[in-house]
Copies of this chain bind each other. A is one copy, B any other.
Amino acid sequence: MSEATRSAILEVADDLGYVFDSTASNLRSQKTDFVAVTIPSINNANFAETVGGLSDGLKERGLQILLGYTGYDILEEERLVEQLLRRRPEAIVLTGDRHTDRTRRLLINAGIPVIETWDLPVRPIGHVVGFSNAAAVRRMVDHLIRAGLARIAFIGGDADRDTRGADRRLGFIAAMKEHGLDATRLIAAGVPPISMREGANAMARLLETMPDTQAVICVSDLSAFGALTECQRRGVTVPGTVSIAGFGNHEIGAMSVPSLSTVNPFPREIGSRAAALILDVLDGRQSGPAVTEVRPQLLVRESSL
């Protein structure tokens, strides 16, 4: 039919209030144009960036994100994954590499591309776009030691629900031991993800119980900023008396006075790479499982100079 006829029909349809029903289309064509994405929490600038990168990369193809939050809980992740798979997504993107056995089975049976992100899984389910949290913290430890600091502490959450946070702590411990240094200055600061306030409280405990500490690595920039403010309230100079480092390259770390040393995990790039990978797989340009490492960048700033 002619373009004129076509647009005339579409206009009449619009005037009549017709809206295409994709539920019928989905059933018949066995295509939903959904990509399922699970993140631990919506209220986290890093994961939000990853979702933004995914969303931008997928929307040009008309793929829509179906987002779910696990609350840092692999059982909740299992429920969520099952619920999401019922919607018949074309692909699924997960945060992290720790899953229940049933989650793994469900994902494998689903027969769709599975992408684990924000980690480098030992036993990947399918594709991977991530990095080693432990190795990233190791580089921060190396930097602090090169700067002449030895009594270094780690502030993180008090459980292993946040497995990336737990990996960062393990990376800290391993790196310290490699250098022959004491790796027992560990402060557990609350249920992950820990807040600015919890970072401040942890810093208070650290200053009181281990006052000779020379540097602190925090599991995130938010807790690092909280730790910094606690030092400021107590008149402890940063750097000088104590150096502080964070993780995640949140804007707060670039703007605070002093600015915070941190690690940039390129969260948006994780999302855009995952999106590109999904398109490659769906278009048959990628056959086997792909492992893409997005190497984090160490950012040395005023708080550890």
Contacts and interface: CB of A to CB of B under 8 A. Distances in A.
Nearest to A79: B59
Interface in A175-224: 195-197, 200, 222
A255 interface: yes
Contact of A88 (B21, B226, B233): B21
B23 A27 contact: yes
A49 B45 contact: no
A64 interface: yes
Nearest to A84: B64
Interface string A79-93: 000110111100000
Given A17-B109, A252-B252, A42 B48 contact: yes
A65 interface: yes
Interface of A: 17, 19-24, 26-27, 32, 42-43, 45, 48-49, 51-52, 55, 64-69, 82-83, 85-88, 105-106, 109-110, 195-197, 200, 222, 225-226, 229, 232-233, 251-252, 254-257
Contacts of A106: 19
B42 A51 contact: yes
Contacts of A51: 42
Contacts of A200: 255
B19 A85 contact: yes
Given A26-B27, A27-B27, A64-B87, 10 more contacts: A19-B82, A23-B32, A26-B26, A43-B48, A64-B66, A196-B254, A197-B251, A197-B255, A200-B255, A226-B255
A67 B37 CA distance: 12
A88 B229 contact: no
Which 10 A-B residue pairs are closest in the complex by CB-CB distance? Answer: A17-B109, A196-B255, A22-B86, A43-B48, A23-B26, A232-B257, A23-B27, A42-B48, A20-B86, A27-B27
